[in-house]
Structure 1
């Protein structure tokens, strides 16, 4: 039986997407309780920025090693281990008595998170045909957007009705249960169902290429750097802001309640939910990645410019509209990995995907820290000005993303079975 023809692959897709959805849902959830944590633990905005960033620092720093290891040893066990670590990180966060343990918990969650997306990409490459890949990445983008949407008003209402600790406790438990389901569906059962295929694969395996040769080829490839910059600009700015300062922005600049401010961020997430599947479908139909992705990056760059140019007291309607457009652009981020899949050998997809993904989360590491330091220069009544000048950071980062999109080369899609 061929994996890529079996109905079992849809079960593999379902459990992989569920794990990814749950992990994404808690990835930005700490941004909902930024003010609460600052008050409860008596820490500055810069410390909270560090807590948000250290998770993405761990994520970004491990993308290349995880990609190399997953290409060489297979993605299943790394996805399982990442889910387990993420669950443990959530549990520790829910019980943390001080800011040091909060930071450690988010660091541990970041280590686990680092093993998720790259391995979801590789698992889809293994179980589905290359021709289905762009559309599947749109579904993955939709799952991520729904996960992020869950971390806005639903989580905010949950926190308001209980406490900030309970959601992280429950999500941690769900992730531990998901870990066992992943092992059964990805490892235990397929091992019995596809014995012959596993034996054939083992016999046909060649001696692994040197890590240094792979890295040298990656770091000298224009296409790898182009996809890195694309993700840096369109993903990092969106996740970095929404996951740290988005809700406080709504509270301080527009005087919204926590729930209402989380709904402001929800407009961006709705945009991402629409943008992911729609742009993937358009790209699949039109057969061009570069033109569509360059246009998306231009629109995102102009939207961040619009938020900056709107001044210290921006229009609420304008902010809503621009967050929706920025979210729509983030939904197109799956095109980064469509470009990787069409440009590189299947044996390199993991490490190149990791490198490209690192770009987005390096941006998400830097943005909350720098944004927090800018805000610390504008205390009290001047905080609106702090947010105004802080928007220069995503303006610069999204410009780098546009540069990456313009550097992309349109490659002929390689029909490789994975």
Structure 2
């Protein structure tokens, strides 16, 4: 039976999305217990910040290598082992008695996390047709945002009930057990190989990397993702709460509620934008629209000198979150314009762009904020000049999407 008409593929779809949901929640969940870690381990905030950020550095650095490995050996092994590694890392995190163990645990979690997205993209590419892909990858993007949402009030409630160690231990055990079920669902039941041999394995890695790095289509996708992801994850995940507290005098809880508006926007935007793209049969046109929309939102902060009216801030955060949902179109474009046998490598390259911007933006924004505040004495001025960072990142993304050619088979022959 053609796997594109096999009903079991929906079980696979639900299973990989559940995996992504849990792992996404663990990217930001440690932020809920920063004060507890500082007290329990007698360390400074800078140390905890390094522990928290190492996962994203590992994740970003492994995207291209992981894409190549997934293309060569298939996604099943890496999704299964990635869930297990993330589970083991989370268990070690919960049992840690020294900051070094926390550091090592987050490295393991980062390695496991690095396998998930590119593996999931390739699994969906193999089991679903091109026409279905934009809609389904939009749902996958929504699942990631739902994971971030899960790591707010719901996981906080679990921590209050069971303590931070018990909460993370339970999550780690769940992921380890789930990795066994993934083996049954992805390999045993559909009688698919754990390792898949590909003709790509005979090509030298430097040759493949050279073709990707010299390819305009690949760079367009890299820049698309750089522009749409960095502003949302980089700013919303690091400076949005301090911004609301410093400029609008909000409490931490009130500021967090404003950020929830952005998360809701992402939850709504990802599947809706995927559906629109699928309905139109186009990727570039809606992607251009949402890149321009997000760019206008960041520009609005500058037009109001970094202090728009509060009601407008809420609207802007929602729209920025909604526009972030368009990032799934990057991978829909990969699916449409590259052979399936190379989609992992290109997806990894594009995803590197997105998370590179997410890693860079908090530091750049913070440096500008500190520099301006030290010279002018005004924190509001600091935020005003800081907003040039997401605006410029967004402009880079718009340039990328303008160069995107969704009809082009950019590497090798069309699959």
> TM-score, normalization: structure 2?
0.87
Structure 1 position 402 matched with structure 2 position 403: no
Q: Offset of 1:155 from its aligned partner?
A: 2.9
Give 1:21-170 correspondences, 5 Å limit.
21-34=21-34, 41-44=42-45, 47-159=47-159, 163-170=163-170
C-alpha change, 1:233 and 1:417, in structure 2 (3 Å) is closer
C-alpha change, 1:108 and 1:131, in structure 2 (3 Å) is same
Q: Is the 8 A contact 1:290 1:410 kept in 2?
A: yes
Structure 1 position 274 matched with structure 2 position 282: no
* CA RMSD of superposed structures (Å): 3.1
C-alpha change, 1:364 and 1:37, in structure 2 (3 Å) is farther
1:213 maps to: 207
Provide the rounded CA distance (Å) in 2 between the counterparts of 1:408 and 1:354. Answer: 17
Provide the rounded CA distance (Å) in 1 between the counterparts of 2:158 and 2:252. Answer: 12
1:16 maps to: 16
Q: Is the 8 A contact 2:60 2:356 kept in 1?
A: yes
Q: List per-residue Cα deviations over 1:112-165 (Å, max 9, x = no partner).
A: 111000000111111112221111111111211211221233234444566554
C-alpha change, 1:247 and 1:26, in structure 2 (3 Å) is farther
Provide the rounded CA distance (Å) in 2 between the counterparts of 1:320 and 1:36. Answer: 30
2:220 maps to: 226
| 1:335 maps to which of 329, 336, 340 | 329
Structure 1 position 393 matched with structure 2 position 394: no
1:349 maps to: 343
C-alpha change, 1:64 and 1:343, in structure 2 (3 Å) is same
Q: List per-residue Cα deviations over 1:334-353 (Å, max 9, x = no partner).
A: 10011111111121111000
Q: Is the 8 A contact 1:265 1:323 kept in 2?
A: yes
Provide the rounded CA distance (Å) in 1 between the counterparts of 2:252 and 2:174. Answer: 25
C-alpha change, 1:248 and 1:104, in structure 2 (3 Å) is farther
Q: Offset of 1:80 from its aligned partner?
A: 1.1
Q: Offset of 1:100 from its aligned partner?
A: 4.2
Where structure 2 has 5 or more consecutive residues not aligned to the other structure, the ranges are none
1:302 maps to: 296
Q: List per-residue Cα deviations over 1:216-240 (Å, max 9, x = no partner).
A: 2111111100110111111122122
3-state secondary structure, aligned to 1:411: coil
Where structure 1 has 5 or more consecutive residues not aligned to the other structure, the ranges are none
Q: Is the 8 A contact 1:157 1:259 kept in 2?
A: no
Matched pairs, number? 409
Q: Is the 8 A contact 2:337 2:414 kept in 1?
A: no
Give 1:364-383 correspondences, 5 Å limit.
364-374=358-368
Provide the rounded CA distance (Å) in 2 between the counterparts of 1:162 and 1:386. Answer: 40
C-alpha change, 1:48 and 1:398, in structure 2 (3 Å) is farther
Q: Is the 8 A contact 2:368 2:382 kept in 1?
A: yes
C-alpha change, 1:302 and 1:42, in structure 2 (3 Å) is farther
Provide the rounded CA distance (Å) in 2 between the counterparts of 1:42 and 1:388. Answer: 32
Q: Is the 8 A contact 2:339 2:409 kept in 1?
A: no
Greater RCO (CA < 8 Å, at least 6 residues apart):
1
Q: Is the 8 A contact 2:287 2:401 kept in 1?
A: yes
